[in-house]
């Protein structure tokens, strides 16, 4: 039996609303707090948790961005796309998936790389922010990530392999707990996110999934208590899941204008927002007017700053039109159809709120998800001092 262990479990999309409504593990995790999410998708929330820094600092927001020098790693698609006929390829996600895998292997991309539905002809206008594994050493350099900080601390730690599924990650952590050599755990789980995107509106399905998940967490907690005298265990999330309330076809609104993509403007159609770059200054007013009637609003400079997405080089868009909570942009570069649940809305939306659940009282209460990093860093510091 060893002295102490700290387990931080990341549960993608375990929103505060869902944790409370379904009374998820209320008995074992009595400390339960809502935590403000970071505006964006997991592609920005996870780097925020891994560094404690805002997107403007770690540089990750939505997957596709416009590089400063306008140099794209996808320029060859300019020559290739006439041979990739839209009717065959654009709607065939299996082929796109293979193209993504081939590119990742060919270019040594170690991160989560997915071309989604961005038309091949438009790829040469973009770069992709998660080409490298953000969990790896220096994965978010020049900013230090969790692995860098833990390595420096000298505390024996374990960070899950995000390529594996929840069962595999929980089993790997359990085995290490039994070996009693690891004191700090970051256990990655993303199964809830995948389920909620498609079943958030079906209470029985959600309850069943949460029940099965809690049985595994309980088992992990039991194992930790069998091998360590003092066990700190918390579960936290990056964002919640907002049920579908409607959809809007912003893409058609822009494409109906007498303007040309790539000459007058460039647009990225995310699931919950439109991001636009103006190549021709005269395109700004018609583009902005064209979508004003849609359920959402253009983010003001003050809002962008408050949401930490006021990138100085406008690499993620000159302007961002954010949809109202629950409204999905359909079709988007991410999907052809709306899905029952989505995240990436305003952090003020109740369903978007993340959470932290803890077995023990927390020395400090995280207010936004970036604070999870400070909590983990503090945890490593305590372990180091206890061991010194």
Residue closer to Zn ion by CB (options 45, 115) is 45
Instruction: Confirm if 270 and 296 have CB atoms less than 8 A apart.
Output: no
Measured from the CB of residue 309, what is the shortest distance to Zn ion in angstroms? 18
Measured from the CB of residue 223, what is the shortest distance to Zn ion in angstroms? 29
Residue closer to Zn ion by CB (options 232, 270) is 270
Measured from the CB of residue 344, what is the shortest distance to Zn ion in angstroms? 8
Q: Does 17 bind Zn ion (CB under 5 A)?
A: no
Residue among 213, 231, 217 at smallest CA distance from 173: 217
DSSP string, 58-115: H--SSSEE--TT---TTTTHHHHGGGS-HHHHTT-HHHHHHHHHHHHHHHT--S----
CA dihedral 211, 112, 201, 246 (to 10 degrees): 170
Measured from the CB of residue 343, what is the shortest distance to Zn ion in angstroms? 6
Region 160-179 residues binding Zn ion, contact defined as CB under 5 A:
none
Measured from the CB of residue 276, what is the shortest distance to Zn ion in angstroms? 24
Binding segment for Zn ion (CB under 5 A), chosen from 27-35, 170-178, 193-201, 230-238, is 193-201
Binding segment for Zn ion (CB under 5 A), chosen from 26-34, 59-67, 191-199, 323-331, is 191-199
What number of chain residues touch Zn ion (CB under 5 A)? Answer: 1
Residue closer to Zn ion by CB (options 193, 319) is 193
Q: Which residue is nearest to Zn ion (CB)?
A: 193
Q: Which helix (H) or strand (E) holds 20?
A: helix 16-21
Measured from the CB of residue 239, what is the shortest distance to Zn ion in angstroms? 8
Residue closer to Zn ion by CB (options 344, 379) is 344
Residue closer to Zn ion by CB (options 155, 200) is 200
Residue closer to Zn ion by CB (options 133, 193) is 193
Helices 166-179, 203-227: crossing angle, 10 deg rounding: 10
Binding segment for Zn ion (CB under 5 A), chosen from 22-30, 189-197, 250-258, 296-304, is 189-197
**Residue holding tokens 């079943």?**
199
Residue closer to Zn ion by CB (options 24, 74) is 24
309 contacts: CB under 8 Å, gap ≥ 6: 39, 40, 55, 56, 61, 299, 316, 320
Sign (positive or negative) of CA dihedral 278, 279, 281, 287: negative
Q: Does 193 bind Zn ion (CB under 5 A)?
A: yes
Binding segment for Zn ion (CB under 5 A), chosen from 185-193, 276-284, 326-334, 377-385, is 185-193
Residue closer to Zn ion by CB (options 45, 187) is 45
285 contacts: CB under 8 Å, gap ≥ 6: none
Q: Does 351 bind Zn ion (CB under 5 A)?
A: no
Measured from the CB of residue 305, what is the shortest distance to Zn ion in angstroms? 26
Measured from the CB of residue 341, what is the shortest distance to Zn ion in angstroms? 8
Here the tokens at position 340 are 């029952």
Q: Which helix (H) or strand (E) holds 329?
A: strand 327-329
Binding segment for Zn ion (CB under 5 A), chosen from 54-62, 136-144, 192-200, 279-287, is 192-200
Binding segment for Zn ion (CB under 5 A), chosen from 60-68, 157-165, 186-194, 287-295, is 186-194
What residue spans of 123-248 are helical by DSSP H?
146-153, 166-179, 191-199, 203-227
Residue closer to Zn ion by CB (options 41, 135) is 41
- Rounded to whole angstroms, how far apart are CA atoms 328 and 323? 7
Residue among 268, 279, 188, 196 at smallest CA distance from 236: 188
Measured from the CB of residue 182, what is the shortest distance to Zn ion in angstroms? 29
Region 86-145 residues binding Zn ion, contact defined as CB under 5 A:
none
Q: What are phi and psi of 258, to 5 degrees?
A: -80, 55
Here the tokens at position 110 are 């170690």
Measured from the CB of residue 12, what is the shortest distance to Zn ion in angstroms? 6
Residue among 258, 287, 263 at smallest CA distance from 275: 287
Centroid of chain to Cα 43: 4
* DSSP helix/strand/coil, 52: coil
Binding segment for Zn ion (CB under 5 A), chosen from 74-82, 118-126, 155-163, 190-198, is 190-198
| Residues of this chain that bind Zn ion (CB under 5 A) | 193
């Amino acid at each position: 039996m060893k002295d102490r262990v700290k387990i931080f479990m990341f549960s993608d999309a375990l929103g505060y609303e869902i944790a409370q409504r379904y009374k998820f593990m209320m008995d074992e995790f009595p400390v339960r707090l809502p935590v403000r999410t970071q505006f964006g998708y997991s592609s920005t929330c996870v780097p925020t948790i891994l560094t404690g820094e805002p997107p403007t600092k770690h540089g990750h927001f939505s997957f596709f961005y416009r590089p400063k020098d306008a140099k794209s790693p996808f320029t060859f698609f300019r020559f290739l796309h006439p041979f990739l006929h839209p009717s065959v390829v654009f709607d065939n996600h299996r082929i796109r998936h293979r193209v993504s895998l081939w590119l990742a292997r060919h270019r040594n991309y170690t991160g989560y790389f997915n071309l989604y539905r961005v038309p091949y002809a438009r790829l040469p206008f973009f770069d992709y922010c998660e080409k490298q594994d953000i969990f790896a050493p220096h994965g978010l350099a020049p900013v230090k990530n969790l692995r860098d900080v833990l390595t420096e601390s000298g505390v024996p730690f374990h960070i899950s392999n995000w390529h594996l599924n929840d069962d595999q990650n929980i089993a790997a952590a359990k085995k290490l707990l039994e070996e009693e050599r690891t004191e700090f755990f970051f256990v990655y789980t993303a199964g809830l996110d995948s389920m909620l995107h498609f079943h958030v509106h079906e209470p029985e399905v959600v309850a069943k999934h949460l029940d099965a998940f809690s049985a595994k967490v309980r088992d992990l907690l039991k194992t930790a208590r069998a091998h360590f005298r003092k066990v700190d265990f918390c579960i936290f999330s990056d964002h919640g899941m907002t049920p579908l309330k409607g959809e809007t076809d912003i893409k058609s609104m822009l494409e109906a204008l007498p303007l040309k993509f790539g000459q007058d403007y460039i647009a990225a159609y995310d699931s919950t927002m439109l991001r636009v770059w103006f190549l021709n200054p005269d395109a700004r007013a018609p583009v902005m007017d064209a979508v004003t009637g849609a359920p959402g609003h253009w983010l003001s400079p003050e809002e962008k700053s408050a949401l930490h997405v006021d990138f100085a080089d406008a690499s993620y868009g000159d302007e961002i039109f954010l949809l109202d909570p629950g409204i999905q942009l359909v079709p988007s570069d991410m999907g052809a159809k709306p899905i029952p649940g989505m995240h990436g809305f305003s952090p003020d939306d109740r369903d978007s709120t993340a959470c932290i659940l803890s077995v023990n009282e927390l020395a400090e209460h995280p207010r936004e998800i970036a604070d999870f990093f400070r909590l983990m860093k503090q945890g490593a510091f305590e372990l180091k001092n206890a061991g010194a």
